């Protein structure tokens, strides 16, 4: 075996050893991931808290990437690469490691906010905007750690951002206005996710989300309206869920002048109570009542006051009430008059 062959084998050995170390480390990562996460998943099913589920789901994906970076780090120890290049790769691995951990922590924080939204709803309503707050804070901390690890001073960067921030604020005036308007909407709690609202421009529907720029309103026909946050803060908004969801339902009608008004009141309230007790969306605790309002052209006008659990329930409540009341009036002989206009000729001629 000549010297050239020996050198070729030696060079091949120097190349294969780092590659083998990297592959072995990666293989160990797959084995550890399969064994450890299988046991962790079984263990998390027996716990009451959901924190462990969130952490396991967030770490499971990048776990192999971390072992790959670890394999590259170990391979560099056995390589014959120049020291300067090894130093650069080490820094790059450090940055990638911190960045991947930052992404994982950001996802964990956002998922925890979503999971425990019911507990923090009293302090801060959960929307896309508030869920992203946790992500932004984690990313800022991660970027500061990366800059510090690279030996970059953040003081000049902050000073530059302070000067440039004025120009950016002027250029993004509308965007920032919508952003801060979104925070105002969330913190004031006058409009919340799930509320049914009506704008002064006529649009109405359920609030489904508040983003950094717009508020999403889902209308009853299943269409979505995107209202800029700034415009929403300046609009006159009727919130049908404040102070609570239950609302009065008013039904106007009239009865003939010859009707026994006491009997009309008794029959109408009985039908209304039946609707409150049996129709979905009615409020069984409600005691319906009527109020006679005026003498109309065709009969005596009255208003029936019922109650619905929320805004959209009023339609079914009205539907069932009108249907059942008309049927009951027929049985009781109570007449709902047609619109008519009677001319008294004797009165017009001045006769007594």
Could you tell me where the beta strands, DSSP code E, fall in the chain?
A: 196-199, 204-210, 214-218, 224-228, 237-239, 247-255, 289-295, 300-308
Note whether 283 and 246 are within 8 A (CB). Answer: yes
Average pLDDT, the chain: 79
Domain boundaries, the chain: 3-150, 153-243, 247-332
The pLDDT assigned to 117 comes to 58
Q: What is the CATH number of domain 247-332?
A: 3.30.70.100
pLDDT at 101 over 60: yes
Pick the more confident residue, 298 or 143.
298
The residues near 301 (Cβ < 8 Å, ≥ 6 apart) are 252, 253, 254, 292, 293, 294, 295
Phi-psi region of 202 (alpha: psi -120 to 50; beta: other; left: phi over 0): left
The residue length of the chain stands at 352
Mean pLDDT of 66-73: 79
Q: Decide if 153-243 and 247-332 have a common fold.
A: no
Give residue-wise pLDDT tens across range 278-335.
999 999 999 999 999 999 888 999 999 999 999 999 999 999 999 999 999 999 999 9
The residues near 114 (Cβ < 8 Å, ≥ 6 apart) are 126, 131
HSE on the CB side for 69, CA within 13 Å? 17
DSSP state of 282: B
Strands 224-228, 237-239: pairing is: unpaired
Least confident of 25-29, 122-126, 147-151: 122-126
Give the CATH class of 153-243. Answer: mainly beta
Strands 300-308, 237-239: pairing is: unpaired
The pLDDT assigned to 19 comes to 75
Residues in a beta bridge with 239? 197
DSSP 136-156: HHHHHHHHHHHHHHTT--HHH
The residues near 93 (Cβ < 8 Å, ≥ 6 apart) are 69, 72, 73
Pick the more confident residue, 173 or 325.
325
Pick the more confident residue, 110 or 298.
298
249 three-class SS: strand
């Amino acid at each position: 075996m000549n010297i050239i062959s020996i050198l070729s084998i030696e060079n091949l050995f120097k190349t294969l050893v780092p590659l083998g170390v990297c592959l072995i480390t990666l293989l160990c990562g797959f084995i550890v991931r399969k064994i450890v996460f299988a046991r962790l998943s079984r263990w998390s099913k027996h716990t009451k808290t959901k924190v462990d589920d969130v952490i396991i789901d967030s770490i499971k994906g990048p776990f192999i990437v971390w072992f790959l970076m670890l394999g590259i780090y170990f391979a560099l120890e056995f390589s014959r690469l120049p020291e300067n290049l090894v130093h650069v790769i080490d820094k790059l691995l450090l940055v990638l490691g911190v960045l991947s951990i930052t992404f994982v922590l950001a996802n964990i924080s956002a998922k925890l906010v979503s999971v425990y939204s019911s507990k923090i709803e009293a302090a801060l309503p959960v929307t896309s905007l508030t869920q992203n707050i946790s992500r932004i804070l984690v990313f800022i901390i991660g970027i500061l750690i990366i800059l510090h690890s690279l030996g970059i001073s953040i003081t000049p960067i902050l000073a530059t951002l302070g000067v440039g921030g004025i120009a950016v604020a002027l250029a993004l005036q509308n965007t920032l206005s919508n952003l801060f308007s979104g925070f105002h909407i969330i913190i004031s709690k006058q409009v919340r996710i799930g509320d049914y609202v009506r704008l002064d421009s006529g649009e109405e529907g359920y609030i489904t989300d508040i983003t950094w720029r717009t508020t999403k309103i889902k209308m009853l026909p299943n269409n979505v309206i995107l209202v800029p946050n700034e415009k929403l803060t300046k609009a006159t908004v009727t919130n049908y869920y404040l102070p609570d969801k239950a609302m009065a339902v008013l039904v106007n009608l009239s009865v003939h002048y010859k009707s026994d008004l006491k009997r009309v009141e008794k029959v109408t309230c009985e039908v209304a109570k039946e609707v409150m007790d049996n129709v979905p969306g009615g409020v069984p605790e409600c005691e319906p009542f009527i109020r006679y309002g005026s003498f109309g052209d065709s009969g005596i006008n009255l208003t029936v006051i019922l109650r619905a659990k929320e805004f959209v329930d009023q339609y079914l409540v009205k539907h069932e009430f009108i249907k059942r009341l008309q049927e009951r009036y027929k049985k009781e002989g109570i007449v709902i008059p047609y619109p008519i206009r009677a001319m008294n000729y004797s009165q017009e001629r001045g006769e007594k």
